[in-house]
Amino acid sequence: MRSIAKILFPVNVPEPFDYVVPQGMRVARGDFVFAPIGKQMKLGVVWELGTAESESIPGRKLKEIAERKNCRGLNVGMLKFVDWTAKYNCASLGMVLRMVLRSYKALDPSPIVTLYQPSTTVRLAGLSPARKRVLDLEGVWPARAADIAKLASVSASVVKTMAGVSGLLEQITAPLDPPFDVPNPDYDERKFALTPKQIAAGKVLSDLVAEQSFNIALLDGVTGSGKTEVYLEAAAQALRQGGQVLILVPEIALTQAGLRRFTERFDAEPAQWHSAMGEAARRRTWREVAQGRAKLVVGARSALYLPYADLQLIVVDEEHDNSYKQDEGVIYNARDMSVVKAKLSGASIVLASATPSLESLTNARTGRYVHVILPERPGSAVMPEIELVDLKEDPLPSGKFLSQPLVDGVKAALDQGDQAMLYLNRRGYAPLIICRACGGKLKSPDTDSWLVEHRRTGRAMCHHTGFSMPMPRACPECKVEDSLHAVGPGVERVAEEAAILFPDARIEVLSSDTAGNPERIRARMEAMAAGDIDIMVGTQMVVKGHNFPHLTFVGVVDGDLGLAGGDLRAGERTYQTLVQVAGRAGRAEKPGRALIQTHMPEHEALEALADGDREGFIAAELAMRELLGLPPYGKLAAVIISAPDANKADEFARKFLAKAPRAEGIEIMGPSEAPIAILRGRHRRRLLIKAEPSVNLSAYMNSWKSRLRPPNKTKLQIDIDPQGFM
Ligand code: ADP
């Protein structure tokens, strides 16, 4: 009997395909193989092995596997994790595999190349300027001739002759992708000692890791309490055991300053993984992780899908952060999938946050997670004082966005030689452009959203699609010139106001467009940390896990912004964001202060913030969720149907609804127009499915989805546990 292998390809397919294993070829689950698909030869993974029973299906002729790739395959745990991710999120199995196979070159060993480094021979005086430039390079050795040539602005032949007769450089052969330094768990160059509470918390976590089995802990500590220092103790334990450690952070937190903390603790720079990495860096990290040689990985959410050889600890830092949710392609929440990954790997997981999600908090309080609490900042650092500015009492000057108390707050900080931050989660200059002549608003051409004015670039932009055009002089509707008028503030406008108020201050705007690429954002964060900026005006980008020791005042320009819209998590999100923003202040010796401008001082999230009443807020939020059967007391899924034609979208939405399997404990709402009813020219409809906790909602949704395929050009997406309601 011939043996059959099911091969999964990293493309949009729901399941693996059957192939015959040719005589004499041995394959195991997880092996990489080349097999024909259509006219192409494609790389896939052996998902399952079987015998030829299924081959007897009449008319079915199976093709043969062409070649087994000579490299280490994926381990069975990884296959299970891919399977789990696809099932749980109702996603295509092949597309989940594609998240794993991010670098094909990483499957081969690193190429061996010739590298050069300065030799130890005595340097002769009278070097030519070119040669001198080469020898003056620092921190690059050993390196390839081409790289040295580029850095020193010399030709590659200069480098080569320096290695020849003159003997100024020596040649070595080494892998192109060098291994990562091995972290030393017992090295510790931190300039302070942990407090007794931090030590105790660190011990609880390390003891869990020492059990070498699946354990979950919630590290719940106020902003600046030293959560990073504490979870590094758990990481040290996993490293001592020879295991691998993954630390997930929101992408933007991957700064040099952030990485330096790992280096100070373990004397080795961690392997990184994030979207801004080039192909070479990706290949190196992937390969080293797969071989089990990279022991410490710090990365953004997709680092969860690297092929770990022996993962013993996952840390999800800022676990409440919504950047863990991937909203496109395979829709998944890396925080939730981390728990699954830890379980399948028999590893420990630490979820860390100053503002844990209500889901995690509930799990901790009901004893499902070990709850580790850090109630205070170390040493003399105290929590910032948070106050509300009621805009009814302190109205904004006409056409301005900073009230007197905010201005006074900034001034007081600057007068002391400290830094201030103004927070507004709105990119650009103004969120709305209105024509004074006809009253029309500038609208995105193929999307239901208003264009945002960006004065720095002189453009009008759609923040949902990236569409942009030069700011017109005349209204596109009524053609009246100079009639367009900016309404409301964005960060650029707040910075403009601050510059008038504080002409001598060094002011910087930080948002995804002002700073451009991640490297430049990081550079600005570092300038802020170093005290080279007086007032930083920023969007949510400034919130995530940064330490700015000289920052003592935070002004929130619009505390109500997140509360608009019907999002069930609006209160929770606002509360979390504002605690985090305020938490940037006063992290070192000097006390910090935060002021929040609001029209709704009586809103429970804002009231709780001002009163420092986290418990009160959580209790009220949970009571509301329980009443409505929302997470964590129930489960949610969303269905998004879209089509280029509104009628087609409606029609399919109706048909899909009619196919809903009957089941207890399920309530279906919709279809209705999505809040953004047209996106990139596609008409969008939504269904919301609410389930009782006992229901396996993923299984239900998978079975529903399998009953009806969307017609050509119509798209059906399922979002398990939706976080936003766009
Ligand atoms: P969190 O992650 O809880 O916000 P961090 O771990 O970033 O807190 O720590 C906040 C700041 O306090 C960091 O600069 C950190 O180095 C410092 N820190 C933490 N623990 C101590 C300590 N015991 N003594 C002095 N400084 C500390």
Q: Across the strands, what pairs with 36?
A: 41
Q: What would you report as the CA-atom Rg of the chain, rounded to the nearest whole angstrom?
A: 28
Tell me what pLDDT residue 362 has.
Answer: 95
CA count, 13 A, side-chain hemisphere, 349: 24
Tokens representing residue 376 in the block: 């205070």
Tell me what pLDDT residue 136 has.
Answer: 84
Could you tell me if the CB of 225 is within 6 A of ligand 1?
A: yes
Pick the range with the lowest mean pLDDT from 165-174, 292-301, 450-459: 165-174
Residue range 288-306: mean pLDDT, rounded: 96
Pick the range with the lowest mean pLDDT from 231-235, 375-379, 697-701: 375-379
525 vs 507: which has the higher pLDDT: 507
- Which ligand 1 atom sits nearest the alpha carbon of residue 195? 23
Tell me what pLDDT residue 133 has.
Answer: 87
- Which ligand 1 atom sits nearest the alpha carbon of residue 381? 12
Could you tell me if the CB of 353 is within 6 A of ligand 1?
A: no
Arithmetic mean of pLDDT over the chain = 91
Tell me what pLDDT residue 723 has.
Answer: 86
Tell me what pLDDT residue 111 has.
Answer: 87
Could you tell me if the CB of 226 is within 6 A of ligand 1?
A: yes
Tell me what pLDDT residue 121 has.
Answer: 66
Could you tell me if the CB of 586 is within 6 A of ligand 1?
A: no
- How much distance in Å is there from the Cα of 468 to the middle of ligand 1? 42
334 neighbors 293 (Cβ within 8 angstroms):
no
562 vs 510: which has the higher pLDDT: 510
Within 10 Å of residue 684's Cβ, how many Cβ atoms?
23
Within 10 Å of residue 312's Cβ, how many Cβ atoms?
26
Within 10 Å of residue 124's Cβ, how many Cβ atoms?
10
The angle that helices 256-266 and 518-529 make with each other, rounded to 10 degrees, is 70
Asked whether the predicted pLDDT for residue 275 surpasses 90, the reply is: no
Helix/strand/coil (H/E/C) assignment for every residue in 438-491: CCCECECCCCCCECEEECCCCEEECCCCCCEEECCCECCCCCCECCEEEECCCH
Q: Among candidates 245, 424, 218, 250, which has minimal Cα distance to 345?
A: 245
452 neighbors 465 (Cβ within 8 angstroms):
no
For residue range 183-232, list pLDDT tens digits in order.
Answer: 999 998 888 999 999 999 999 999 999 999 999 999 999 988 999 999 99
Tell the residue nearest (CA) to atom 6 of ligand 1: 226
Portion of the chain with pLDDT greater than 90, in percent? 69
Tell the residue nearest (CA) to atom 23 of ligand 1: 194
Asked whether the predicted pLDDT for residue 456 surpasses 80, the reply is: yes
Tell me what pLDDT residue 570 has.
Answer: 85
Asked whether the predicted pLDDT for residue 174 surpasses 80, the reply is: yes
Residue range 406-417: mean pLDDT, rounded: 96
Could you tell me if the CB of 375 is within 6 A of ligand 1?
A: no
Residue range 336-349: mean pLDDT, rounded: 97
**What DSSP state is assigned to residue 544?**
S
Burial class (CB in 10 A: 0-12, 13-18, 19+), 664: exposed
Please report which confidence band the pLDDT of residue 120 belongs to, taking 50, 70 and 90 as the band edges.
Answer: confident
Tokens representing residue 649 in the block: 């979208």
505 neighbors 534 (Cβ within 8 angstroms):
yes
Could you tell me if the CB of 379 is within 6 A of ligand 1?
A: yes
Please report which confidence band the pLDDT of residue 123 belongs to, taking 50, 70 and 90 as the band edges.
Answer: low
Q: Find all residues with CB under 8 Å of 211, minimum gap 6, and list them.
A: 348
- How much distance in Å is there from the Cα of 256 to the middle of ligand 1? 16
Please report which confidence band the pLDDT of residue 724 belongs to, taking 50, 70 and 90 as the band edges.
Answer: confident
Please name the amino acid found at residue 615.
Answer: E
For residue range 465-483, list pLDDT tens digits in order.
Answer: 889 999 999 999 999 999 9
Tell me what pLDDT residue 563 has.
Answer: 80
Tell me what pLDDT residue 53 has.
Answer: 59
Query: Where do runs of H (alpha helix) occur along 328-447?
Result: 334-345, 358-365, 404-415
* Preceding amide of 270 cis, omega within 30: no
Asked whether the predicted pLDDT for residue 565 surpasses 70, the reply is: no
Distance separating alpha carbons of residues 215 and 349, to the nearest angstrom: 6
Asked whether the predicted pLDDT for residue 55 surpasses 60, the reply is: no
Could you tell me if the CB of 198 is within 6 A of ligand 1?
A: yes
Tell me what pLDDT residue 435 has.
Answer: 95
- Which ligand 1 atom sits nearest the alpha carbon of residue 223? 4
Residue range 637-648: mean pLDDT, rounded: 96
For residue range 651-690, list pLDDT tens digits in order.
Answer: 999 999 999 999 999 999 989 999 899 999 999 999 999 9
Determine the residue of 188, 227, 229 to mutate for testing ligand 1's pocket, defined as the one with the most ligand atoms within 8 A of the Cβ atom. Answer: 229
Tell the residue nearest (CA) to atom 2 of ligand 1: 227
Tell the residue nearest (CA) to atom 11 of ligand 1: 224
Helix/strand/coil (H/E/C) assignment for every residue in 580-596: HHHCCCCCCCCCCEEEE
Please report which confidence band the pLDDT of residue 59 belongs to, taking 50, 70 and 90 as the band edges.
Answer: low
- Which ligand 1 atom sits nearest the alpha carbon of residue 547? 14
Q: Which residue has the tokens 């390196």?
A: 143
Please report which confidence band the pLDDT of residue 545 belongs to, taking 50, 70 and 90 as the band edges.
Answer: low
- How much distance in Å is there from the Cα of 230 to the middle of ligand 1? 9
Distance separating alpha carbons of residues 47 and 331, to the nearest angstrom: 22
Tell me what pLDDT residue 681 has.
Answer: 93
Tell the residue nearest (CA) to atom 14 of ligand 1: 547
Q: Which residue has the tokens 């395929």?
A: 709
Could you tell me if the CB of 544 is within 6 A of ligand 1?
A: no
* Preceding amide of 470 cis, omega within 30: no
* Preceding amide of 36 cis, omega within 30: no
522 vs 653: which has the higher pLDDT: 653
Tell me what pLDDT residue 680 has.
Answer: 93
Please report which confidence band the pLDDT of residue 54 belongs to, taking 50, 70 and 90 as the band edges.
Answer: low
Could you tell me if the CB of 228 is within 6 A of ligand 1?
A: yes
Tell me what pLDDT residue 60 has.
Answer: 67
Could you tell me if the CB of 355 is within 6 A of ligand 1?
A: no
Tell me what pLDDT residue 164 has.
Answer: 79
Tell me what pLDDT residue 158 has.
Answer: 85
Please report which confidence band the pLDDT of residue 316 belongs to, taking 50, 70 and 90 as the band edges.
Answer: very high
Asked whether the predicted pLDDT for residue 306 surpasses 90, the reply is: yes
Distance separating alpha carbons of residues 518 and 512, to the nearest angstrom: 8
Tell the residue nearest (CA) to atom 15 of ligand 1: 226
